[in-house]
Amino acid sequence: DVVADRLLAATAGDELGTEWLPFATAAALLLDVLVTAEDSACLQLENPALYRPVWVTRHKPEIVVDSLIHALRRSLLVERGCLVAQPLHLSGLRALGHIARLSRHTGHQALRMLTSGAAEIAVAVMQTSHADEEAIFAALWFVAEVVAAARSPIAPKRLVDAGMDTAARKAREKYVRCERIQIEVGRVLSAAVGA
């Protein structure tokens, strides 16, 4: 919570004593590692896939979600100075996608991401001038996880309004031989048509 709280405050304009982008990148990398780290407690269950970390319950991840969403929005939609997807973007998408997946039982966090501009953020990553295969995959996977976890009737409209369907089709054409991108494109396009 301390890292996420400080990232949120810095993104909102609080004085850091250092440049915002390196700080935000380091915070997103740390949050990515903390959120995606495997918890050994899951191995005590007969089916480890059913394990939910304690920090996922109730509203605990909200500060992490808010801080990462705001940092990504600032970097991609406000400052708009990126020619390539930055480590801040990739780590932020991975951490948020993982939170969406872990909180799938309620869908609350994913719905918050969806209504806070998840699709716009993913499209912005995909539209950076020199977006590579990893950036495209991260953006598609992130949106697919958010939509799957949110299970909301507003998802198709949000995706189409953001241009996610068009961006996904372009990725499908550009990365014809990349199986993992083709899979995520299928998930995103299915969600965009409300299937």
Distance CA 78, CA 13 (A): 13
CA 25 to chain centre: 14
Per-residue pLDDT at 107: 85
Percent of the chain with pLDDT over 70: 86
Residue 135 has pLDDT above 60, yes or no: yes
Residue 137 has pLDDT above 60, yes or no: yes
The phi and psi torsions of 14 (rounded to 5 degrees) equal: -60, 145
Per-residue pLDDT reduced to its tens digit, 60-106:
668 899 999 999 999 999 988 788 899 999 999 999 999 999 888 78
Per-residue pLDDT at 49: 62
**How long, in residues, is the chain?**
195
Distance CA 90, CA 87 (A): 5
Distance CA 76, CA 164 (A): 15
Distance CA 109, CA 111 (A): 5
Distance CA 164, CA 121 (A): 10
Confidence of residue 35 (pLDDT cuts 50, 70, 90): confident
Q: DSSP secondary structure string, 76-91?
A: IIII---SS--HHHHH
The residue among 32 and 80 whose pLDDT is bigger is 32
Mean pLDDT of all residues in the chain? 88
